[in-house]
Structure 1
Amino acid sequence: MEPGPLTAGTVRPGGRTAKVRTAVLRAAQDELVERGFHRLTMEQVAGRAGIGKTTIYRRWGTRARLVTDLMGELAARSFPPPGTDAGSIEDVLLANARSVLAAINDPHFGATLQAVIAAATSDEGAAAALHAFYDRRITEWAKVVDAAVEGGELPPGTDGAELVRAVSAPLYYRLMVLRQPVDETTAARSAARALIAARAGAFVAC
């Protein structure tokens, strides 16, 4: 299941430094959900976390770097891809679609994603944070797809990362552009259509 709000113990242990980071990232996520990226301030995060703002500025420096750290932590805790022995490519792509579905429909995590996605259209710092999040997720899922290519389930040269993107793109389009609900049926159709295209060679790297 995708991560909801950060809570004590969800970030790797490591003494006071780790506890401070947990408190700050939790506060940053809450502020992001409530206020959006552009109205998030280091002072508000400091007050919410109960941490001196000088500590936050010294460690993160800018709002963009703080949100990038938050998104990196969420990526590390988000729904992991199955192993390379996860079954058929149909199973893998459906699992990927369902992981996206879980992410965007989670009340807190989904709201966090939407806030950063919206900000990324006009802010380079937010865009960098979003890219870091998705680069990590796509890279991990692409490894599983690449294993299916090596096993002969898809044409040689199929770009696993592009196929993973093709599964999730329609779901985010519905959510962010059309503002339509995304459900299990939508996720399954997206995975099935991407698979048809992949088998036809649409994702073979040129």
Structure 2
Amino acid sequence: MRAPIGNFDSVRPATEALDELNPAVAEGIRSWSGPVPVEHLLYVDTDPEKADTAVFAETYGPGLHDASANCVVVAGKRGQTVTLAACMVLSTTRLDVNGAVRRHLGVRKASFAAVDMAVGESGMEYGGITPIGLPEGWPVLVDSAVVEVPYVVIGSGRRRGKLLVPGKALAGLPGAAVLDGLAG
């Protein structure tokens, strides 16, 4: 099988790579009910030492930098209540934490979640956090530009391996909201 983007030695449907995924992500694939058929979600085996976007794009093919989306975990706080949200933005943009995210969550303060909190609460490895398989109730905020990308590179829940998914698949995730201006 050949990947729709990038140059990868190992490409297969995510449904055939469940053992390679973080357990929560594997369950998210097993129970997939989004508007995009699960067969369109692909797993590519990658070197965990090359997981950071710039190195990843240099290693696995031109154009991947523009087709990579980061899953940024944000902690929003209102009083004593903390809301964690996953925010999906293209790697070439910056998340508008203090504007779009804060307003959408209805919180007084929003900031990037500490690594320990993001990893501990998501159950995923740092550098591989993905919106598929997050704990129930997490808002998933997706920048509208991500939805427009035919195939986007996202994490697999681990630093090793990535998922290639149609951008519009992210709009159908539980708790997902597509927002214009989430990133700048």
Same topology, TM > 0.5:
no
Q: Report which of the two structures shows the higher radius of gyration computed on alpha carbons.
A: 1
| Superposition TM-score, scaled by structure 1 size | 0.21
| Bigger relative contact order, structure 1 or 2 (CA pairs below 8 A, ≥6 apart) | 2
TM-score by length of 2: 0.23
Instruction: Determine which structure has the larger helix proportion and give its number.
Output: 1
